[in-house]
A and B are shown apart, each in its own frame.
Chain A
Amino acid sequence: MEALTNMEKANKTFLEEVSKRSGEKLSLCYQCLKCTAGCPTAPNMEFRPNSIIRMIQMGKKQEVLGSSAIWFCVYCQTCGTRCPNEIHIGVLMDALREMAMEEGVHAKEKNIHLFHEAFIQSVRRGGRAHEVTMLMEYILRSRDLMKGSLIPGVKLFLKGKFPLLPSFVKGKGEIKRIFEKCKK
């Protein structure tokens, strides 16, 4: 049994912070579950989308940021399209992912967020996403070469879908600058 109030006190801010970041009116959610009912990845989440909102309302910061659920959302926006209170959970999840990264909370499905980072890296280098470099990066980061995710890469390669050398953009310096700028 967890004592609700003490956590509540500490994390009243959590609801406010998430609401502010995502710009979603989370307190409006009355748990009609329409989001979960339509969510393609819900079956794989350990907390369903509606529960995530509920947990935020209850101030369960660690559980939420640490959950794989926030990395499973693929932002198909089915939920937002149908939500009676127009809460876009995709948006919410994105905010949560950011917060998770900042807080350095380790996601159960760390690979997922490594993938996100890998993608950014790849763009940062060449200005364009480049699957091979991206996959290498990803695999290096996730440290599991045996992981099935390598196979798609190889298959694509065999299919001639991956050019061996990434195509570079002239403006790539500029891109780097943008990234730098944002760091500040």
Chain B
Amino acid sequence: MLEDRGAAFGLEGRGKRTREFALSETLLKRSDPRTLSEAIMKKLGVFICHCGVNIAGTVDVKSVAGKMGEVKDVSHSADYIYMCSEPGQQLIRDAIREKGLEGVVVACCSPSMHENTFRKAVKSEGMNPYLCEIANIREQCSWVHQKEKQKATEKAEEIILATLKKVRENEKLEAISVSINRSVLVIGGGIAGMTAALDLAEGGYEVILLEKEQALGGHMTQLSKTFPDLHPALPDLFTKAKGIEMHPGIDLHCYSEMEEVKGYVGNFELTIRKKATYVDWEKCNGCGLCIRDCPVEYVSQFERGLGVRKAIDLLYPKSVPDKPVVHRVHCRYFIDGSCRKCEEVCPEKAIRFNQEDERIGKKVGAIVVATGFDLYPREKLGEYGYGEIPDVIDGLTLERMLSVDGPTKGKIIRPSDGKVPKEMVFIQCVASRDPDRYMPYCSRICCMYTAKQAKIYKEQVPDGQPYIFYMDIRSDGKGYEEFLQKTIEEKGLLYLRGRVSRIFQDNGTVRVLGVDTLTGNMVEVAADMVVLATAVVPSDGVKDLAAKLRATVDRHGFLTEAHIKLYPVESSTKGIYLAGCGQSPKDISDTVSQASATASKIQALLSTDQLLQDPLIAFVDEHICSGCGICVEICPYEAREMDSRRGISVVHSALCQGCGACIGACPNFACELRNSSSIQTLRMMDTFV
């Protein structure tokens, strides 16, 4: 919604002042509005928090309180051990009631902690919450000056005085209420996305589920059995997937990607690109004849190179949805216009070689990003002969082998010659915990899936010997330690503590050179097969997606949460939530709870149809704005737009985050920030210089 807030607040005087401020200090002094504000002097209150010893240990709060009491428009000044505590807040309420305060400064910790608390408190006494300001004398004073008490005390005084100056000119503001769209977009159809989508749909919200592959399930569809109970992965997953396919509340878009996101919390506008499948999924009955007759076979990514697939094929057998896709790069028709076998055999005439990508516009109120993970790319891993030696594979590849519906029907065999490996080496922390060369972080799941794989291997090849090179065994989930110990005891896994230095091929065997730090001995294993637990990394394109969503990622490309402990599923951008391995590596059960957590946050967010937003945002003095449009360029939140009719720039109140970029950029000082006007800022600075 566009609106011109310029006129909403009578701004002529302010506009004049701004211009003068622009002209020169002297001019400013002549028409100093301070005289004005003194004429209608506010009664102010100052409340100083000890924060236990956090502040009082360094700052002499008593004397500060005394000094503040002497400031002439301060009619109440008090200190207390914990202002945020119930009695602390009561002090403030009482003072407002008894002294009829018109402005309040609470000197305490950072506003990010308790600004909300105190604004609520003053509001309950009928004061406009935006007449209450926080003077941060903890993070910005007592904590950083613990050695210099005297100076710290002076600094605290100045900070408070400055904040008083601000409060004097604060205006009463009302929160901006925005109507919101109560449907949700979930990006990613893995276990995280599926869980979030189902929870939300169960909660009665419209859900749009986006999956870039042609079917649901994500990496979990590639797994054989899952730790610690060794349940087969697929059955439960299929029930969930079917549930999603059937659910009236879920609008499923497979083989689709997010093209563009506009808008803000409560009102996101999306453009989804449905990639051309060259099959009319409406018509297709999933009979599979096309697949049977397609003459083109090529190496399957899904099978991690162990199996082949057709040019028209499902992602995996019995996939949900069970509709095939023609893969343009491999399809003969697309290469040389020949073949068309599939078209011929299709009983439903569902093949559409002329199909085009389709763009769909949607509106949602919130977005869940569940983009999942990939394994560290083979190309970049310049060691362990990974990629050159066929019998050196990664964990996911072994999972495919172990899957009964996989390329080897669940049999563990060497890719090179199909022999059953008798000496099996597993190597953990490949590219994880390797700060200088690869990833510094721990991939969290490798210890457990390696133990699981070794167990299954031992069950399949009783006379085989699994060796596991590890650094620390990290089985820290419920039942994990027990699983591990039991497996070691029963299956006689041999754990070797230490990294492998080198792997090379030597007449038919893969020689592994390592060390066992527990004995300090060098060890050499002539292995038949080596399985690398390669690092978990964010899946491709997350960075681009994050950019589109204005969400932030860390240096490895994992999406960053608002607060690691208290807001683990909220992103740095309002209305955008994070679930699953896109945020950091985790196992299935942690992923599932995190996904449900996002659903919970969103249900709370969307439970009302109006959303209240902080009004501390930019506004434009339309008398000054020359419509140069620099602000529109510079605004990182697309909150500024030109009002072509009036030739000025206006503020999109719901989008504006009050970052102040436009204020700095505006060549003729037409932009100001509510309750942080240039004048206020200038006055505050006066206190310090």
| B-binding residues in A (CB < 8 A) | 1-6, 8, 12, 15, 25, 27-28, 30-31, 50-51, 54-55, 57-58
Contacts and interface: CB of A to CB of B under 8 A. Distances in A.
Interface string B523-547: 1111100000000000000000000
Contacts of A31: 497, 518
B525 A58 contact: no
A51 B519 contact: yes
A54 B518 contact: yes
B24 interface: no
A30 B486 CA distance: 12
A4 B518 contact: no
B489 interface: yes
A27 B526 contact: no
* Residue of B497, B521, B525 with most chain A CB atoms under a 10 A cut-off: B521
A56 to B, nearest CB: 11
Interface in B553-585: none
Interface residues of B, number: 21
B519 A27 contact: no
B488 A27 contact: yes
B221 interface: no
A27 B465 contact: no
Contacts of A1: 522, 524
Nearest to A31: B518
Interface in B458-497: 465, 467, 473, 485, 488-489, 492, 494-495, 497
Nearest to B513: A1
A30 B494 CA distance: 11
A28 B494 contact: no
Contacts of B522: 1-2
19 contacts: A1-B522, A2-B522, A2-B524, A3-B524, A3-B526, A4-B524, A4-B525, A5-B465, A5-B527, A6-B526, A15-B492, A25-B489, A28-B485, A28-B489, A30-B488, A30-B495, A31-B518, A50-B518, A58-B516
A98 B525 CA distance: 31
A81 to B, nearest CB: 20
Interface of B: prevailing SS: strand
B423 interface: yes
Nearest to A57: B494
A5 B485 contact: no
A55 B519 contact: yes
A58 B526 contact: no
B465 A12 contact: yes
Interface string B491-506: 0101101000000000
A58 B524 CA distance: 12
Contact of A5 (B489, B516, B521, B525): B525
B163 to A, nearest CB: 56
B516 A27 contact: no
Contacts of A54: 516, 518-519
Interface in B205-259: none
A4 B523 contact: yes
B492 A27 contact: yes
A178 B498 CA distance: 51
A15 B525 CA distance: 18
Contacts of B524: 1-5
Contacts of B518: 31, 50-51, 54
Nearest to A59: B494
Contacts of A28: 485, 488-489
Given A4-B467, A28-B488, A57-B494, 4 more contacts: A2-B523, A2-B524, A3-B526, A12-B465
Nearest to B516: A58
B494 to A, nearest CB: 7
Contacts of A25: 489
Nearest to B465: A8
Nearest to B463: A12
B371 to A, nearest CB: 37
A5 B526 contact: yes
A15 B488 CA distance: 13
